[in-house]
């Protein structure tokens, strides 16, 4: 019993090759699109994290500015000079004006 098999040659084979090529290109395009989307989402997460860090640093900077202003206050400096360093204001005869 002989099996009659047709070997497809000609236009049918070329059409199958074109469809396979188009399918491979479509799948490659889907993978590339998925990769691009993942990169965009990851970049979005990184930007959000950096924005959060930026806000924390701005808050810390404001706190440090307030602390610096408190430490530079003339009343505080005068109090340290009098109590810790035992300094006093000069009397009128102790002041010498330099021309």
Would 62 be classed as within a structural domain?
yes
Report the pLDDT value the prediction gives residue 25, as an integer from 0 to 100.
97
Would 64 be classed as within a structural domain?
yes
Would 94 be classed as within a structural domain?
no
Sorted by sequence, the CB contacts under 8 Å of residue 89 that are 6+ apart come out as none
Q: Give the number of domains in the chain.
A: 1
Would 95 be classed as within a structural domain?
no
CA distance 74 to 65: 16
**Phi, psi of 91, rounded to the nearest 5 degrees:** -85, 165
Number of Cβ within 10 Å of residue 82's Cβ equals 12
Would 49 be classed as within a structural domain?
yes
CB 88 within 8 A of CB 82: yes
Q: Please write the tens of the pLDDT for every residue from 38-95.
A: 999 999 999 999 999 999 999 999 999 999 999 999 999 999 999 999 999 889 899 9
Q: Please write the tens of the pLDDT for every residue from 1-48.
A: 555 665 555 567 788 999 999 999 999 999 999 999 999 999 999 999
pTM: 0.58
């Amino acid at each position: 019993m002989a099996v009659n098999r047709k070997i497809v040659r000609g236009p049918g084979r070329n059409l199958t090759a074109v469809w396979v090529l188009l399918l491979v290109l479509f799948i490659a395009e889907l993978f590339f699109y998925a990769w691009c989307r993942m990169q965009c989402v990851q970049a979005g997460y990184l930007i959000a994290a950096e924005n959060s860090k930026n806000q924390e640093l701005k808050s810390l900077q404001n706190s440090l500015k307030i602390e610096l202003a408190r430490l530079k206050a003339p009343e505080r400096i005068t109090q340290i000079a009098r109590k810790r360093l035992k300094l006093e204001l000069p009397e009128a005869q102790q002041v010498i004006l330099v021309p």
